[in-house]
Each structure stands twice: as C-alpha cells, then as structure tokens.
Structure 1
Amino acid sequence: MGASILVSAISTAFGVVLISATGYIGALLKADPYVGESATLAFVLGFITFVLVGLAVYVAAIVTANTFSTVVAGRTRQIALLRLIGASARSQRAQVARQGLVVGSIGALVGLIVGVAGSFAGIALAARLLGIGDVSYDVARPALLVPALIVALTTWAAAWVGSRRVLTVTPLQALGSSTEASREQVVRRTARNATAIVLVGVGALLLAGGIVLGLVSPLGVVVAFAGGVLSFTGIALGAALFMPPLLRLTGRLFGRSAVARLASENALRYPERSSRMAIGVVIGVTLVTMFAVALESAKRAMTAAAGGTLPPELSAPLDAFAGVMMALVGVSAVIAAVGLVNLLTLGVVQRQRELGLLRALGLSTGQVRRVVLLEAAHVTITAVVTGVVLGIAYGWAGAQSLLGAVAANPNQEKAGLVWPAIPVPVVVLIVVATAVLTLVAAVVPTRLATRVSPIEALAAA
C-alpha cells in the first residue's frame, strides 16, 4: 500500500500548496489599489485552483482504484478461502474499503504536514525575493483541511470501487490460482461496457456542443469541460474494452519471435491488468499534452484575432502562464507515474508462478526479462500514442470553446474557428520522458521476475 499512501500524500500536499499559493496571490492583489477589488481576478484564481486540485484528485482516484483492483485480483484465492469457511463477500469488500480509508487518511495526514510546511517556506521565500513585507497572510487556516478530507474520502471510495470484484469471488476459486478476468469475461460485462460507451458518446456530443457554443460565447468552455470529463471517464471505465485492440496493433511492431509473441499475448490475455497499467500513462500524457495544446492553440487564436501579430505585452505573460500551468499539471502526471511503477511491480509479484513456469520450460533469465520489458513497452507505446491523440483533441476543444468568440481588442474580429496548434518540442519531450519512465519503472519488476528460482515460483500460490 506504499504507493497508494504516496499518491494520497502527493494529492493532499498539492492541494494545500495550491490553496495557499492562490490565497497569497489574492492577498497581494487585494493590497494593490488598482486591481484589489476585481471580482474577475478572484473568480479566475478560484476556478484555476478548483480545476487543478480536482484534476489531481481525479487522477489519484483512478490510480488508487486500479491499485486496489490489482491487489484484490492477487488475493482471489485468499478471499475464496475465507468465503469457504463462512465469510461473506460484503464483509470482505468492507475490509478492503476500510483498508483504503486507513491508507487515504495516513497519506492525507502526511501530505497535509508536508504541504503546510512547504507553504510556509514558499511564502517566506517569495516575500523575501519580491521584497514584499506589508502583506500579511495566515497560512494555517481551516480551509487547508478540505483537500486532506477530500483525498481521504476519495481513497476510501476508490478502494470500494476497486474491490468490486470481491463480490464475484466464489469459494470454488480457493482450489485454483489468482487470475485476472479473461477477454471473454470482460466482453460479457455488458452493463459496464454499455455505460462506458454511453459516457464516451455523450461526452463527445458535449465537446462538439461546447466548440459550437464557443463561437458565440466563452461559456462554451463550461460545456466542453463537462464533455471532456464525461468522455474521459468513459474511456477510463471501458479501458479493458478499448485498449486490447490498440495493444494488438502495437504487438505487431515487435516481430514474431517467441519472446515478442509471449509479451504480446500476455498483454492481451488479461486485458484488465494491461489496461489498468495503460490508463495511468494515458492520463498523465493526456493532461500534459492537453494543457500544452490548449495554451498554444489559445495563443494562435488570439494571434488570429489580433490580425496575425500578438502584441509583446500579451505574448510574454501568456508564455509565463503556460510555464506555470505545465509545472502544476506535471503533478498529476507524477501521480500517474507512481501508479504505473506500482502496477508493474504488483503484476510481476502476482505472476511469479507463471514466470517460473516459463523458466522451467526453457526460457533463459534474459528472455524472461525481455518478456516483462516488452510487455511494458507494448503498454507504454499504446498509452503514449492514445494520450497524445486525446490530449490534442481535448486541448484544442478547450481553447476553441473558450476563445472562439473572443477578440484581442474591441477593434478586432473574433478569433472564430482555429486549427489546433501542436507544440512539437513539448510532445517530443513527453514521449521521451515516458519512455525513460517505463525503462526505470521496469527495472524492479524485471529483477523480481528472475530473482525466484523456477521451483520456488512453481510452488507459490
């Protein structure tokens, strides 16, 4: 549960620091005689804080739910044994949920302490560097408890959602091994798959509606935001349905050798396991790409509205704001990265018997390592491509729905329909960083995959 505690701590600390930072900026603005009474600035700061904290909690909830789903899958035999001696499925699920509440509470407490300490240090440093001494701001305030409480409750809820498989475990499974749901079982989940498809469809319609409304009013971004949340939730919910066909295409890129075919089939045989790993990477890549494309597209839209040249006094603040936003969104990407490392490690630990069988059948230590690395490569390549495509679509939709009806000044025309602007250096950086992350994340699992002898692995449950 260490990774889940870390995810909860990062989310809480991020929320605390962000609330403190925006509160301090608000105090600075109130001290300014010209903009101190601006209700618009106060709304913008509050909205940005809400969106960024909401994104971090959203990502943390998906990562935590995936972690608990993987843990429960590995405990299938243990849960079945408890069912065999009289324990009910609901009591077992409640136990997992209580574990999630404990994990979330510990992480939230650690994050709260780290966030408050970081806020004190950051505000003191900012006051010294900027030479601000007449602005008083009390960091320790009750509002900082809000992100800690939200994260703890969200982790509990994510554990409850992730443990839903407990309800399907039968006592007879105590005689077998712990396995994930097969492709046939995933396809037969008609209610969940139908819900995912409906969410994606409704979200896509709202995105399109937000873009059209954005040509008339900036309020189109509200509709587009709702559409983005719904559609991406549908993608996350139906990942086991959507990702396997993409993984199959990626598997063809690695040839037809025995190791490559094993890696490809392992990624497809249990789609839930590979999809849980992939969706974490998809989230991180989508968020970073989305904000990069949104900011670049916004700059292009404002340039088009200004007649082809954006004034320097407007361009410089936009670039600075883009840098700050990318750094803040990077926190959500870090949370997704922690989830990837954790799921890779859990997956190998739970598959020691399978990997031991491969070694007993004649695969060398190096070949087993390559199987694990290639599985991680399949997931990462598929997730990165999917995340970049989704990020470009969401980023352009957000910028277009917000700025399509905005003019750079009263004498200029509205921006209208603007093609998405793709910041190539940022996209390349995302791809390279994700590839490096995967290699680093796969080091521990590959060592675990070959540390146990074939006899010990075959004897493991």
Structure 2
Amino acid sequence: MWTVALSQLRTQPRRYVSLVLAILIGTLFLAASFLVSSTAQATLRATLGSTYAGADLVVLPSGSEDVSDLAGTSAGPGPLARLDGVEEAYALRMTWATARAADAEFGTTVMPLPRDPALAGLTVTAGALPAADDARGVTLDAQTADRHGVAVGDVVTLASESGPDSTTTPVDAVVTGLTQPSPDPMLSGQAQVWASPAALTAVQGEDGQAGFTPHLLLRLADGADVPAVAEAARAEATAAGVDVDVATPDEAVRSAVTQLSGGTDLLGWVLGGFAALALLVTALVIANTFQVLVAQRTRDLALLRTIGSTTAQVRASVLTEAAVVGVVGSVLGAGLAVAIVAGVAAAARAMLDLPFLTFGLHPVGLAVSVAVGVAVTVLAALAPAVAATRVAPLEALRPRDEVTAGSRGGRVRTAVGLVLAVGGTALMLGGVSVREPVSAIGGGALSFVGVLLLARLFVPAAVRGAAVLARPAGVPGRLAGLNAIRHRSRTAATAAALLVGTTLVALFLTGGRTAQEQTALALDTAYPVDLVVQLPADADPARAAEAVAATADVQAVALATPVGTTENGSPVLATPAADLRAVVARLPEGVTGLGDPGTALVPDWVDTDQVRAEVVGTARMFVPVRAGSLSSGVYVAAEPLHEAGWDGAAGAAVPGQLLVALDPGVPVDRLQGLSEDVTRAAGDGAAVIDGGAGERALYARIIDAMLGIVVALLAVSVLIALIGVANTLSLSVIERTRENALLRALGLTRGGLRGAIAIEAVLIAAVAAVLGCALGVLYGWAGAQLVLADLSATAGAGTAVRPAVPWLELGLVVAVAALAGLAASLLPARRAARLSPVAGLAAV
C-alpha cells in the first residue's frame, strides 16, 4: 500500500492542496506562538535585561538596602568579589549630576565602568572607552551628544547633585567616546554618562552623594559552578545583613516582568494558552479537511476493497498519505512562521521606531511544531480512514444517511456535548475563582469541545432564524434557509471552522484589550508621577511652577513645599490636594484618599501601617497611600496644615519640588529633551530627581509591540476558517450532486444555484461569527480574570477584572467572516453550477 499511497500523491497532487494548506497554516499558528514567546524573551533581554546581558549572575536587593558595599569600596574588594569563582563583582552605582557642555546644560546619570566593559553592555559608536585610571575620561550617549552638539574630545563639566553642605567641586571631564543609548527602562529618557572609577570618584567627592545601586553583576571564571556561586553569594549577603535574590540574567528578566504583573507570570500564561489553542485549532481543521478528502475518494477506496485490499491495507494507505503530507505541510508551516514573525519584527523596528524589538529563534519550538503537525495529521486521518472502511465496497458508492439528533449516535453526541459543555464551564469558572490555571484552561477546552459537539443543535436553528434576512433574494434565499435545517450536520460542520476561528479572534481581542487596560493601570500604579523636579535653594517656587506648566507637553504641575521629615529622615512635602490628584496617575487605594486629613503619599517600600513625622513643628501620624516607585519624599495634603495654622512657608531646610504630569502619548525619544525643557523652565540648578515617565512609556511600548505581533498572527485563524468553510462546502456539493441536479431540472438557473450556495455560506459564516464572538468574549474574560486578578489587585482595582469588550473590532470580525464565507463558496458554487442536470442525476 506504500506504492498506492505514493502514486496517489504523484498523480493527483491538486487533491492534497487544501490539506497541505490546512496543515501549513495550523503548524504556522503553533510555531508562531513559540516564536512570539522567544521574540518576547529576546526583546525583554534587550530592554529590561540589557544591563544583565554580560553577567553570569545578578544580585538584586529584596528591599531598599544599598548593596554596593558587597561588591567593594574604596578600601578594597567586598565579600562577593572575594568568592571563589567570581572574576568581577560590579555595582551599577548611579549618581545624578548636572552637565554643562558649550552653551548647553542638562541633567545626567553618571555610572561607573566595570573592569570588563562587557558587563555594562555598552556599544561604542565613536571614540573609545576611557582607561580605568583616567581621572577625567567619560563617555556620553550618542543621542544626548547629537542633541547638544557634543563630540569626542570635547570637555563636559559635571557637577554632582549633592546636599547644600557638600564640598564637591565641578569636574571638567573629557568625552573619550560615544555610546549607543541603553534601552534599560530605568535609564530611558535620561542622558547617560559612563565614567572611569577615578573620574566617578572625582565627580562624587568624599562627601558627595553615594548614588543609587539597583543591582550587582557577577562575572564568573570559566568553568565555575553557577548554582554553587549563587548559593555562596546569597550566604555572604545574609551574613552582611542584606537580603538579596541571586539569579541568572534570564531569571532576573522574568522576575522583573512577574513583579510588574502583580506576582503572575503573565507572559508565560498568555503565550502558553496561545500555543494550546493553536494546537486545538490545528487538530480540528486537519481532521475536518481529511474528512473531506476521504469523502472525495470514496469510490477509489471502494475500488481498492473490491480488488482484494483489506481494510487494514486501505487504512495504512490513507495514514501513509497523511504522514507524507503532514511532513510537507508542517515543514512549510514552520518555515513560513519564521519568515512572518521575523518580517513583522523587522517592520516594527523600522516603521514603528522600536529598535529594541528583537527576533528570537526557537529551534526546539520549531521541531515540536513539525512533530505535532505530523502527529496530529496522522491521528486526524485515522477516524476518517476507519469510517471509510467500515462499509461494504458497494455500499460505499451510495450516499450515507445523516446522523440526526434523534438517532442513537445523535443522542450519544448530544449527551457527551452537554456533559462537556456544562461540566467544562463549571470547571473553568471554578478554576478561575481559585486561580488554578490547569483547571481553568482544561475546563475551558472541554467546554469548547462540548459546544462544538452541540453545534448541530443550535447552529442550524440560528441560521434558519437569520435566513429571514435573505428572503428578499427569492428562491435562492429560501433554499439557503431550508438547507440549514434539512442538513444539520453539514451546516454544523461548515460553521465549525469559522466558529473556532472567530472564537479565537474574539478571545484574544477581548483578553488583549483587557490586558492592555490592566497593564496601563499597573504601570500608573508603579510609576504614579511622571517627573519630580528638585528646585534650587534660591528659586521662586511659584514662578518656577508657572514656567514649567507653560512648557510644551506638560499637562499639570503641583508645587510641593517642604514641611518636615519622617522618623527615618525622608522629607515631608505639602501639596494642595487637588493639584496632587491632578499629577498622580492612579494609586492602589485611589487618589481620592490623598485629600483626606491624615493621609500621606509614600513610596511602596514603606511597609508600616502608620507614618510618624515631624510636620510644622508638631509630631503627626499619617495613614500611608503607597505610590509605587516614587521615592523622592513623602507627600501630604496642604489644606489640613493650613487649617492648623500653617502659613505656607517652608518648614525644613531642603529644596522644594515640582511634581509634573506629562501629556499622554509623549514618545520615548522626546522624554529626554522634555526633561531638559522642564528643568530649564524651573531655573538654573533645577534637576529631575525622580519620576517614571520613561519607564512607563518604554514598558507600554514593549507590551504594545508584543500584543501587536499576537494580534497580527490572529489573521491566520481567518485563513484557517476560510479553508475549513471551503472544504465543508466542497463536501456538501459532492453530497448534494443529485439534489442540485434535480433543482436544475425543475428550472433553477445556474445563477440561482450559485446564489443559494453563496447565501447559505454567508448565513452560516455570519451566524458562526456572532456565536464565536460571544464565546470568545466569555473565554477572553475568563482568561483575563485568571491571569490578571493579581495584577488588578496590585493596582487597587480589586480581584474582579472588568472585561474590555472591543465592540468595533468584533463587528469587523463578523463582517470579515461573512465575506470569507462568500469567498469560500465561489469555487464550490461554480463547480455545482457547471454540472449538467443529466450528468448530476446519473452521478450517484
């Protein structure tokens, strides 16, 4: 039978085109999900993990502790640098300074260069990095250099932003090279200066600011035992009284994303669910397509049986064809997935100004996709092959009776469908309520299979109801409605492909839109204030606030006046409650709490239930309203202080601040220039000391880019549905050969026959799309509730996730599905109309 199978493939290749396309697209869908995952990981490594890329281990503080001493001090190496297997322990200590070059003045972040420059992940675009002992050598990022006309060899004066009692003096540094701006969100929108250790010491001075160290990077010796060194580093940090997490670069990136999404591995679950649904779609479409192919070969298979082939040999022949076609379609699908995802990533980099978007190849995922494509093809071909060999050779030449809902097979199908639909839905909702992913996803898949089994009950009835819209078309319109009821199984089979496709599209549109809204809420919570500007001691605060408010792309400004300090020395600043609400994005407990007496806006690392502070000479207790990453002070409403007799004068010897909210949608590449515009408007000596505008904008762009790729890949499901509809319509034309011929003999024109088939296809497609959109919204909400509940709770919106239903997009889905049904009917309708009545009546 191997020879028979190969001869079929050689002599009738056109018969297998639709099958190859179905396998190709299904495998493409699955492979693309792996590639989206690897591309997302590569992009995250290029952004969140750009500063981790050259390290073997990353040491992350669990709280606000300073971990720089673990790497070393001016007195010598620290405990982590002395560990066996550690070549270098590097502390990324960020120091804020004001830079002056020619006529320009701008704020900048100054960072030390490691001994091994690869640890910093720098790309030199001009000149060279300074030598370690060069006390004046620095590099500047190329974007800032271009904006201010700084070239290699120019002198830049760096003045550390230290306290008023500091004795540090400005340092005239020489720019030895220009570097590519770091895509790290923490550095987004900032001028970046990398200095040799000697130059950094000169900038900081003995009593200059110590800076901020977000993490340590460890470079290990060749052959070092990474887990053993990680455990030793953890133990050394604990002995030093510092609680840290030691992770590989990839683990650190994943941890950052998980922390951002409220403790949930959002990316992993979304892409894992995408792959699982892709596998389900692939299996359904291939099985449906193979059923059509076997139906078209009924006579051939019957002939093989009459000349002596056994049922086992016929099944082996069909399965051999399935395996060969599966290999061809799967390899083509995996290759096309690589081309599409790489092309989309390249186009996004060029057209959407997303240079950090990085294509990631997933060899294992591609191999799994090919293997799954072949296995699913063979398994999908098994049932049709068995069904084709169950009847006697002569009986196979006659039309088979349809399995109706009242027959034994129909009752079994209905009972199983009800159990799966009801039981699966209950399991899904239960899993969602207790946040158990396996139960929720498994229950959702079972319920959807149940819906497909029950489709022959409700889809034909829905099509019949929608057929009233086709009555103006006359006889073809009435025939289309009647056929939906007379051939329930065929109607349900035709609708199944589009039902699957539109359900997937609606699921991801609803889940994606909900995820975008929840992520925006989480980003607003994590980065509640766009910019915090520290005013110079001699500034006129009111005039500075007015000047900043008049700056382009600034939405609101709040003046914060120092009124005291907390027990741990953090400054307390008073701001009019309405102004504070205007500049704060969104907070866990809601911005309305800021106007209540006795509340204070504090950084999220403050874990006490009350904040004690000395305010305007009086000890006061405040209920904290935590504000994400904001760490430049504690902010209270001014009105209660005025009622207590405060005259508005500064009550502490620290500079005042301006809290600035920017217009929505400010591009990332505009943020650095905008920060400089704001500080320039605030007056000489003003500096941006805090704020999450850059981080929030860059995180949002990363998420939008990933969702954009996923949404683009959903167009594949429309192609899958189109092939499924065309296949089942082809089967219906074969089954209705005598019926169509009889209609022609009774006077129905060729145009009328084509119209009846086309209207039937449009009605089935539109009804399937509406039902699929309803199911997709339900499943999309369930998925969002499962994945985003923790994120929503972190953002202060409770654990009940409100679905964001994209009504306009769903309307377009229904319209496109109807057009896809019309397009899929063209060839079958043309084939049916070309057959003469006499030939059709004699065909079966």
TM over 0.5: yes
2:21 paired with 1:6: yes
Q: Which residue number in structure 2 is paired with residue 434 of structure 1?
A: 817
Could you say if the C-alpha distance between residues 308 and 18 of structure 1 is closer, same or farther in structure 2, counting changes exceeding 3 Å?
farther
Contact 1:77 1:178 in 2 (8 A): no
Q: CA offset at residue 390 of structure 1?
A: 0.6
Contact 1:405 1:414 in 2 (8 A): no
3-state DSSP of counterpart to 1:420: coil
2:787 paired with 1:402: yes
Q: Which residue number in structure 2 is paired with residue 235 of structure 1?
A: 451
Matches within 5 A, 1:106-185: 106-116=328-338, 139=361, 141-166=363-388, 168-171=390-393, 173-174=395-396, 177-179=398-400, 181-183=402-404
Could you say if the C-alpha distance between residues 125 and 70 of structure 1 is closer, same or farther in structure 2, counting changes exceeding 3 Å?
closer
3-state DSSP of counterpart to 2:714: helix
Contact 2:765 2:820 in 1 (8 A): no
Deviates more, 1:392-401 or 1:89-98: 89-98
Q: Which residue number in structure 1 is paired with residue 490 of structure 2?
A: 273
Q: Which residue number in structure 2 is paired with residue 194 of structure 1?
A: 415
Could you say if the C-alpha distance between residues 341 and 237 of structure 1 is closer, same or farther in structure 2, counting changes exceeding 3 Å?
same
- Structure 2 residue corresponding to 1:26, chosen from 31, 35, 41: 41
TM-score by length of 1: 0.84
Could you say if the C-alpha distance between residues 278 and 113 of structure 1 is closer, same or farther in structure 2, counting changes exceeding 3 Å?
same
Structure with more of its chain in helix, by fraction: 1
User: What CA distance in whole angstroms lies between the structure 1 residues aligned with 2:460 and 2:408?
Assistant: 11
2:274 paired with 1:59: no
Identity score, percent: 34
Q: CA offset at residue 376 of structure 1?
A: 0.8
Matches within 5 A, 1:35-434: 36=250, 37-40=252-255, 41=257, 45-76=267-298, 78-80=300-302, 82-83=304-305, 87-116=309-338, 139=361, 141-166=363-388, 168-171=390-393, 173-174=395-396, 177-179=398-400, 181-183=402-404, 188-213=409-434, 219-255=435-471, 258-299=475-516, 307=590, 313=696, 316-317=700-701, 319-407=704-792, 409=794, 413-434=796-817
Structure with more of its chain in strand, by fraction: 2
User: What CA distance in whole angstroms lies between the structure 2 residues aligned with 1:14 and 1:381?
Assistant: 23
Aligned length: 450
Is there any run of 5+ residues in structure 2 with no aligned partner, and where? 1-15, 53-248, 259-264, 522-585, 593-660, 665-695
Q: CA offset at residue 402 of structure 1?
A: 2.7
Task: Kindly provide the amino acid, as one letter, of the partner of residue 404 in structure 1.
Answer: A
The superposition leaves residues 181-232 of structure 1 with CA deviations (integer Å, 9 ceiling, x where unpaired) of 242676634433322221112211012213422xxxxx34543222211111
Task: Kindly provide the amino acid, as one letter, of the partner of residue 22 in structure 1.
Answer: S
User: What CA distance in whole angstroms lies between the structure 2 residues aligned with 1:138 and 1:367?
Assistant: 52
Structure with higher RCO (Cα < 8 A, 6+ apart): 1
Task: Kindly provide the amino acid, as one letter, of the partner of residue 497 in structure 2.
Answer: G
User: What CA distance in whole angstroms lies between the structure 2 residues aligned with 1:407 and 1:420?
Assistant: 12
3-state DSSP of counterpart to 1:150: helix
Could you say if the C-alpha distance between residues 124 and 389 of structure 1 is closer, same or farther in structure 2, counting changes exceeding 3 Å?
closer
2:819 paired with 1:456: no
Contact 2:27 2:282 in 1 (8 A): no
Is there any run of 5+ residues in structure 1 with no aligned partner, and where? 214-218
Deviates more, 1:121-130 or 1:353-362: 121-130
Q: Which residue number in structure 2 is paired with residue 216 of structure 1?
A: none
Q: CA offset at residue 296 of structure 1?
A: 3.0
User: What CA distance in whole angstroms lies between the structure 2 residues aligned with 1:104 and 1:21?
Assistant: 23
